[in-house]
A = this chain, B = another copy of it.
């Protein structure tokens, strides 16, 4: 739908339509209403306007991520960008950090740039307190918002997630069954996905009547493996006993491998370790790291397909869930 169509259907001049769109005062209330009604009726958006004028074929999708140098998010951005490009869309990337205000401000900025849709990569954009998700609700009232590995039940928001809870639940049961019962859960994110993973671990431990309280949150840099290893050594010095580590991502798991080696545990005979994301890090250590593959490329492909469907006006699923897969290597029995 173009400005011409609106003009025709509202029975006013193109200049009048432009004035309404620009919020100019030189339009009577009656005329304004006529134009806005047509716009509402045909779900016209300024984007379609720009496109109709051939001024700016937008075809741009905003991507928000907390930190593009995080291994998992870097990979996600890579897949998303490639798949958008192959469908003729450009990507406008905003790295927001982890602060709510910065996220809301990036969101506004992308909307100002008239992107066709916004992808929130990673689950740290969703808050438990409903009011803190207002920036997403607001955005979704204008353009579709896609969540990668997060979930929010509001209109015009679509989720594609990996079933982190079940992946972690099953993997924990397997570690217990292979003989390790004093398992430390090691994590550094309390995001939607982070909490789902933690619950999977806790529920599996409780099901087997074991202590589900051995979970420790690491607050440092997401890539400072040396510091993570120190953290584990301090836990040990403080008297904590554990012979298995289930980590919420491969970087933390790698620190556990370093810890076990420095403590002269034999892996996997005396000490077992499980990572998450099945990243390139899994083959960096010795023995190589068992890890859960959460099918990131599949998620991204599906996310883009869903977005393209929504933009084309098709009925698309609100939420799609994929299963993860345990990739066995040398750190588990």
Contacts and interface: CB of A to CB of B under 8 A. Distances in A.
A209 interface: no
B14 A15 contact: yes
A82 interface: yes
Given A67-B78, A281-B284, A286-B261, A18 B23 contact: no
Contacts of A113: 56-57, 60, 90
A254 interface: yes
Contact of A114 (B55, B93, B94, B109): B55
A68 B81 contact: yes
A280 B223 contact: yes
A260 to B, nearest CB: 11
Interface stretch (A44-52, A140-148, A149-157): A44-52
Interface string A223-266: 10110000000000000000000000001001000100100000
Contact of A18 (B14, B82, B112): B14
Interface stretch (A29-37, A69-77, A173-181, A306-314): A69-77
Interface residues of A, number: 54
Contacts of A56: 46-47, 50, 55-56, 113-114
Given A81-B68, A92-B90, A261-B286, A21 B74 contact: no
Given A18-B3, A54-B21, A284-B284, A85 B94 contact: yes
Contact of A74 (B50, B68, B258): B68
Contacts of A225: 280, 283-284
A291 to B, nearest CB: 14
A321 interface: no
A18 B7 CA distance: 13
Given A69-B78, A286-B286, A57 B112 contact: yes
A74 to B, nearest CB: 4
Contacts of A15: 4, 13-15
A71 B49 CA distance: 40
A49 B309 CA distance: 30
Interface string A112-128: 11100000000000000
Given A13-B14, A46-B56, A90-B92, 17 more contacts: A3-B18, A13-B15, A22-B53, A50-B50, A50-B53, A55-B55, A63-B93, A67-B78, A69-B74, A74-B74, A91-B93, A91-B94, A92-B93, A93-B93, A254-B284, A281-B281, A286-B286
Closest 10 CB pairs of A and B: A69-B78, A74-B74, A284-B284, A93-B93, A223-B280, A46-B55, A68-B78, A225-B283, A14-B15, A22-B54
30 contacts: A3-B18, A4-B18, A14-B15, A15-B15, A18-B53, A21-B55, A46-B54, A46-B56, A49-B55, A50-B50, A50-B53, A55-B55, A56-B56, A56-B113, A60-B92, A68-B78, A68-B81, A69-B75, A71-B71, A78-B95, A85-B95, A90-B109, A92-B93, A93-B93, A223-B280, A226-B283, A254-B284, A258-B286, A281-B284, A284-B285
